[in-house]
Amino acid sequence: MSKIEKLITRFLSEPKDFEWTELKKLLISLGYEEFNSGKTSGSRVKFISKKHADISLHKPHPTPILKKYQIKQIKELLKKEGLV
């Protein structure tokens, strides 16, 4: 099992300690690119794919741990798009 496959499995189990860097790595491996609209975007980040629906979310702060609802929403979207 590759590192990305392990990361996908971990993500799908909806862990309470899934970090922003892990999500970023996961989405990039699935063909997404991170897009931040400059200084005025604040913590709002968009992940864009040419083939799949865009993902918009707030980067968690002050801790890098994603909220439970964020993981669930992204998981649903990735399943709907047939990526996981």
- Give the CATH number of the domain where residue 47 resides: 3.30.920.30
Give the pLDDT confidence score for residue 44 in this predicted structure: 86
Residue 20 in contact with residue 60, Cβ under 8 Å? yes
Give the pLDDT confidence score for residue 1 in this predicted structure: 82
Give the pLDDT confidence score for residue 36 in this predicted structure: 80
Question: pLDDT tier at 3 (50, 70, 90 boundaries)?
Answer: very high
The dihedral of CA 74, 20, 69, 12: what is its sign? positive
How many domains in the chain? 1
Give the pLDDT confidence score for residue 39 in this predicted structure: 66
**Closest of 61, 74, 80, 76 to residue 26, by C-alpha:** 74
Residue 35 in contact with residue 47, Cβ under 8 Å? yes
pLDDT tens readout for residues 32-81:
999 886 666 668 899 999 999 999 999 898 999 999 999 999 999 999 99
Q: For residue 14, what are the domain limits?
A: 3-80
Q: How far apart are CA 41 and CA 79, in angstroms?
A: 28
Residue 18: other Cβ atoms inside 10 A: 23
